[in-house]
Amino acid sequence: MKNNYQQIISSIYSEIVSGENLGEIPNYISELANISDHKFGVAFLDLNNNSFGKGDFQEKFSIQSISKVFSLILVYKNLGEKLWKRVDVEPSGNAFNSLVQLEADNGIPRNPFINAGALVICDIMLEIFENPKNEMLNFIREISQHENINFNTKVASSEEKNGFRNAAMCNYMKSFGNIKNKPEDVLDLYYHICSIEMTCENLSKSCLFLANGGKNPKNNETILSSSKTKRINAIMLTCGFYDESGEFSFRVGLPGKSGVGGGIVALFPYHYCITVWSPKLNLKGNSFRGMKFLEEFTTQTGESIF
Ligand code: GLN
């Protein structure tokens, strides 16, 4: 090992935990509003089976938009390249819940990681799977090697109560013919998938195959082809942080994905996966401490895809 990852993680963790904790916990999902803003966890796992965790890395949190990586993979595996007729792969340069580009783009979302794109992915899941909720949980349970992964139905219904924007988006895309099912069914699936709870440790384990050319690091079985894996990683790099994707690339230099629950997963292809969780978000909806941690991490290790 070139770097002593454990030592680097411990030292950055101590520095950040005693430093500023700026930003806000989002309150539009009422069930998430009361989480302690001191929560802070990091879980590192590499392809040589070195693992290291710090702080609240074994506590479950709401993965929210990180789930968009899993639903995209599931649909991409099943549908193949036809998928890109329904959703594009361009960075949006807009907030995750923005509607503005849909009109000019005829109801085709810019990418699968903004809400509009994830709603189209949910619509496709309803078309191709008999029980998309089970399909989603089973897939995540398999890749995380953890049976106890579930929806938090309270979080899902508390988001639905305030979900006027997502409902507007879904109906708007239906008017262009890019949503085939009933908007309420698409939204129900979307909120459930966002409400999945996982730990930093679960997430690093689940995403390690993306750092391994699509192969399960435990038994070398193919989860996703190497070409599709390359494309998922590319979308994570270019679109994983909404209108802060350029900034994440600039500061961290790894493919990654954030969620409004305060989690960020990032991976260094052919090396490792790392997950950070801290609930306070910056103005772009990404974890303040998570961004800071990962910037320090790739700076101090001297390793990034660039
Ligand atoms: N469920 C959230 C929403 O629809 C997910 C957003 C996110 O994590 N960025 O707004």
Residue ending a domain, among 141, 174, 194, is 194
What is the C-alpha to C-alpha distance for residues 185 and 138, in angstroms, rounded to an integer?
20
CATH number, residue 226: 3.40.710.10
* Nearest Cα residue to atom 3 of ligand 1: 115
Residues touching ligand 1 (Cβ under 6 Å) are 64-65, 96-97, 115, 159, 166, 194, 259-260, 285
Asked whether residue 165 falls in the same domain as residue 278, the answer is no
* Nearest Cα residue to atom 10 of ligand 1: 97
276 annotated as ligand-binding: no
Instruction: Indicate the pTM of the whole model.
Output: 0.97
Residue 160, domain extent:
67-194
The per-residue pLDDT for range 49-71, each reduced to its tens digit, is: 999 999 999 999 999 999 999 99
The per-residue pLDDT for range 234-256, each reduced to its tens digit, is: 999 999 998 999 999 999 999 99
| Mean pLDDT (the chain, rounded) | 96
Domain count within the chain: 2
What is residue 1's predicted lDDT score, i.e. its pLDDT? Answer: 56
Beta strands in the chain (DSSP E): 41-46, 51-55, 61-62, 197-198, 256-258, 263-268, 272-277
From the CA of 65, how far away is ligand 1's center (Å)? 5
Asked whether residue 241 falls in the same domain as residue 269, the answer is yes
190 annotated as ligand-binding: yes
The per-residue pLDDT for range 10-26, each reduced to its tens digit, is: 999 999 999 999 999 99
CB-based contacts of 230, cutoff 8 Å, min separation 6: none
The per-residue pLDDT for range 113-169, each reduced to its tens digit, is: 999 999 999 999 999 999 999 999 999 999 999 999 999 999 999 999 999 999 999
Residue ending a domain, among 126, 159, 194, is 194
What is residue 253's predicted lDDT score, i.e. its pLDDT? Answer: 98
Instruction: Give residue 220's pLDDT band: very low, low, confident or very high (50, 70, 90).
Output: very high
What is residue 34's predicted lDDT score, i.e. its pLDDT? Answer: 87
What is residue 3's predicted lDDT score, i.e. its pLDDT? Answer: 81
How many C-alpha atoms does 167 have within 13 Å on its Cβ side? Answer: 8
260 is catalytic: yes
Q: Which of 190, 205, 258, 276 is catalytic?
A: 190
User: Is 306 inside a domain boundary?
Assistant: no
The per-residue pLDDT for range 264-301, each reduced to its tens digit, is: 999 999 999 999 999 999 999 999 999 999 999 999 99
Whether the predicted pLDDT of 2 surpasses 80 = no
Residue ending a domain, among 157, 175, 194, is 194
Asked whether residue 291 falls in the same domain as residue 188, the answer is no
Asked whether residue 28 falls in the same domain as residue 145, the answer is no
- Percent of the chain at pLDDT exceeding 70: 99
Asked whether residue 50 falls in the same domain as residue 78, the answer is no
Asked whether residue 74 falls in the same domain as residue 177, the answer is yes
